[in-house]
């Protein structure tokens, strides 16, 4: 919660100071929006992204280092035909 509020306050204050210094009036709302967006980004990045509580498959199709922090997890091999030594003889011409 403090990360969200801190980003909002700090970037809002920076926008307000720049508005006062340059005599403009649009930097305070820009700073507030930027601060909230960066605060949300920091929270999501800190806690590893959004995790599904009910996965549809046992393993994802693409490796996501932020989602799986286990050193034993390896991504699926590249798609393509199986190696020649695993094909049945009936499949070869």
pLDDT tens digits, 5-44: 999 999 999 999 999 999 999 999 999 999 999 999 988 8
Q: What pTM does this model have?
A: 0.49
Domain extent listing, the chain? 2-45
Is the pLDDT assigned to residue 93 strictly greater than 60?
Answer: no
> What is the pLDDT averaged over residues 43-66?
65
Half-sphere exposure of 66 (CA within 13 A, CB side): 9
Alpha carbon distance 25, 20 (integer Å): 8
Is the pLDDT assigned to residue 47 strictly greater than 80?
Answer: yes
Token pair 């926008």 is found at 15
Is the pLDDT assigned to residue 81 strictly greater than 60?
Answer: yes
SS3 9: helix
């Amino acid at each position: 919660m403090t990360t969200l509020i801190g980003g909002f306050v700090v970037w809002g204050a920076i926008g307000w100071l720049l508005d006062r210094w340059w005599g403009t009036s649009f930097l305070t709302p820009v700073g507030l929006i930027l601060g909230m967006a960066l605060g949300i980004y920091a929270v999501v990045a800190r806690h590893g992204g959004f995790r599904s509580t009910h996965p549809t498959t046992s393993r994802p199709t693409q490796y996501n280092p932020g989602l799986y922090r286990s050193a034993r997890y390896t991504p699926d091999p590249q798609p393509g035909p199986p190696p020649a030594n695993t094909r049945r003889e009936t499949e070869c011409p």
